Amino acid sequence: MGCLASTTRDAGGNGRRPGTVVEVAVFVPGLRIPKGVDLSQPLHNSLSRNLVERLSALRIRIVVMAAQEAPTVTKPSRKTATQHGGSSLADLLQALEDYLPVLLGLVKNGSQSKDKVQFVWVNQEDVAEETGMTNAWYEVLSVLHLMAMLCLSEANSLLLPKMSNDGHQLKASEEDKQTTIDIFLKAAGYLDCAIQHVLPQIPPETRKDLPLDLAEGVLRAFCMQALGQSVDIQLGIAIDSSKATLAVKRRLACEMVKCWHQVAFGALSDSGNPDYQIFLSELKIFKNLSPHHQAAAYYYHGLILDEGNTEESHGMAIAALQAAEEFLKESKRACEVFNAMPPTSRNPPLWGSARYHSEKIPKDASSKARINQDLYSNERLLKPSHLGGICRVLEPAPALPDFAVALKPDDYQLPPVDASWNEQNDHQ
């Protein structure tokens, strides 16, 4: 899964620049980063000097750090360590967490400062895509979105295959996989909080002017992406475990299908936005994964049905396995079309659950069909195929079981207003 170094071309038009595309495991859009604004002029009459200076210092710190960090999101190999041993990405996330409690004082009940500052943010992939709003809730929403995107970037770094000193590709460790799931759920928690508790605070007429990245449907799509990739990791762990049953693998595969269906549904809900086609092209790599997830779900469903002892269950099993094979072919075709789009890219080597399913599905679908061809000659179930003489099932593929997604976003709550606002109240 992912893109390998692409050939950049002039995309033309007013869309975001294609830039240099590197191998990715997690789709992370271009970061929206804050631009410097003067807080002292609009706030000096309503807030104490100390509070204005603190707000300004915290925001300026984020402006500087975000400008430095943004290019590394699309070039994970450039991640740098700080003098304290952590990553610059983690430091930026901490800076945002430090800023949020102080910022929330602007939107607390009865605050007269909510609509006094025009907060400006810009998309790193298109400097012309700048949005300024005189609403502090817009700043809170933008901060939560950036926190979530930084988590997705960190997850991408952990999941990308590493190279050993002797040039061999190393798999992500079990510890990295578990850590990545926690990071995905953290990102989903930020986004869910934004959807449930911040967006409703912005008037509907103002919400129409939000950039596409902050539209409700897109936020929901990224929230479900985080959950879907968490489930994908769980499935990979189950595949590697001798203790995981087919029922467990089927459930996880079916959960993935549901997650990615909701990713597409969330994105489509904002199709009226003029920038929607740009977003859709960016998300297309993961839309291409939907047939692969359906292939995995039908594969495990077919193996379970094949454990039955009746001609009917065996016929349904072959129908499911053949559906899995067709979805796998569809996924490959979609990836080839995507890689041919500018900027053109090479087909990356498959790894993880994608590699496992690409190898197992055709093999097992063929072998199960041959076995059942020997067992049954019922023309109601089977018909001859021109592919190696293997019979194919006439009946349609059985419906997949409907499982609720077990994983949930972290229960992230907006922090309490910083204590410095108590001093402001005393000052007033």
Domain range summary for the chain, segments of one domain joined by +: 32-156+172-408+415-427
Best-predicted range by mean pLDDT among 122-126, 131-135, 263-267, 373-377? 131-135
The tens digit of pLDDT for each residue in 347-405 reads 666 767 888 999 999 999 888 878 776 666 554 455 544 444 445 555 788 999 999 99
> Model confidence over 184-243: pLDDT tens digits?
999 999 999 999 999 999 999 999 999 989 999 999 999 999 999 999 999 999 999 999
User: Would you place residue 106 in the very low, low, confident or very high pLDDT band (cuts 50, 70, 90)?
Assistant: very high
| Section 102-125 average pLDDT | 89
Tokens for 289, please give them: 């994964």
- pLDDT category, 80, cuts 50, 70, 90? very low
Contacts of 60 (CB under 8 A, 6+ apart): 36
pLDDT greater than 50 at residue 420: yes
CATH number of 32-156+172-408+415-427: 1.25.40.280
Alpha helices in 160-268 (DSSP H): 174-193, 204-207, 216-240, 246-268
| pLDDT recorded at residue 336 | 77
Residue 279 to residue 30: CA distance in whole angstroms: 11
pLDDT at residue 24 in the model:
73
| Residue type for position 101 | P
Classify residue 396 by burial, with Cβ atoms within 10 Å: 0-12, 13-18, 19+. exposed
**Helices marked H in 74-126:** 88-103
DSSP H or E stretch at residue 411: none
Q: What is the pLDDT confidence band of residue 292, given thresholds at 50, 70 and 90?
A: confident
